[in-house]
Amino acid sequence: MAAGAPLITFDKVWKSYGHGEARVHALAGVDLAIRRGEFVAIMGPSGSGKSTAMNIIGCLDTPTAGTYSFMGVDAGRLDRNRRAMLRNLYVGFVFQGYNLLARTTAAENVELPLIYRGVASRERRDLAMQALAQVGLVGREHHTPAELSGGQQQRVAIARAIVTRPTLLVADEPTGNLDTARTHEIMELLTKLNKELGLTVTMVTHEADVADYAERTIRFLDGHVASDTVNVEVA
């Protein structure tokens, strides 16, 4: 892949559900390109197609029609297990509800993706510690989610997302459950990871001030890209 070539390309991507009269198009021929190292906020009202787009970007879902290519690979045509492999190698996920395994320590949660990659136990532990250090959670590695605050849990989730050194971070309303102070901490952390590691970040959010951390904002409406703007302040 040539440098500067898009990491992510949507080429007339459709995503439809149902049949006949009841057929609904969550995405209706979306064209989109995101380059390596970008920090993109995706916005839009409920039902606009932003979540569907995010699922396709994260290789969790496939388009009904059109082409989605990720790192030059036609990811929309891959089977479940190949997409799982792609996610494991190149994508990190951060969710609104943290989605950590309950009653499992922070370190073990962070190690999880490495288990599916077949990394040896000792190395897993070391990488998990590094990732936890990157998100500022040294000393909390043996706490379970129940013993951590919301902000801390989201940091663990971010550590889990970056422990595999992914190319892309997919964040679905990462600050949706957090208060303002915590929100800014998490956003600064994501910005730092974007700048320092060159991590491409795509983030769905409702909140304009959260979107302001991103260099670029894509707004969805009724299955189309309504606007695609560069945030001058950040860029």
Partner 1 sequence: MIWETVRLSLRSIRRNVLRSFLTLLGIVIGVAAVIAMLTIGSGTTQKVKADISKLGSNLLVVRAGRPAGPGGPGGLDQVVRPLAEKDLAALVAHLTGARAISPASQKQVRVIFGTESLTSGVTGTDSAYLDARDWKLVSGRPFSDSETRSGTGVCLIGETVRQQFFGAGDPEGEIIRVNRTSCKIIGLLEPKGYTGFGQDQDNVVLMPLHAYQRRIAGNRDIDNIYIAADDRTPTSELQPRVEDILRDARRITPDRESDFGIRDMTQIADAMASATTTMTGMLGAVAGVSLLVGGIGIMNIMLVSVTERTREIGIRLAIGAHEKHILIQFLVEATVLSLLGGIIGILIGLALAGLASVTLTIPFAPSPAVILLAVGFSALIGMVFGFFPALRGARLDPIDALRHE
Question: What residues make contact with partner 1 under the rule CB under 8 A?
Answer: 55, 58, 60-61, 80-81, 84-85, 87-89, 92-93, 95, 99-101, 103, 112-113, 115-118, 121, 160, 164
Shortest Å, Cβ 75 to partner 1:
14
Shortest Å, Cβ 111 to partner 1:
10
The nearer residue to partner 1, 170 or 211, going by C-beta atoms, is: 170
| Token reading at 163 | 């422990």
**How many other C-beta atoms can be found within 10 angstroms of the C-beta atom of residue 28?**
17
- CA dist., res. 66 & res. 5, Å (int): 19
The nearer residue to partner 1, 86 or 225, going by C-beta atoms, is: 86
Shortest Å, Cβ 3 to partner 1:
26
**How many other C-beta atoms can be found within 10 angstroms of the C-beta atom of residue 139?**
8
- CA dist., res. 7 & res. 57, Å (int): 10
Answer whether 109's CB lies under 8 Å from 148's CB: no
The DSSP symbol for 100 reads: P
The nearer residue to partner 1, 77 or 195, going by C-beta atoms, is: 77
- What value does the CA radius of gyration of the chain take, rounded to a whole number of Å? 18
Shortest Å, Cβ 185 to partner 1:
23
The nearer residue to partner 1, 109 or 205, going by C-beta atoms, is: 109
Shortest Å, Cβ 164 to partner 1:
8
- CA dist., res. 17 & res. 26, Å (int): 8
Answer whether 108's CB lies under 8 Å from 160's CB: no
The nearer residue to partner 1, 28 or 60, going by C-beta atoms, is: 60
Taking CA atoms, 209 is separated from 54, 205, 213, in Å, by 20, 10, 7
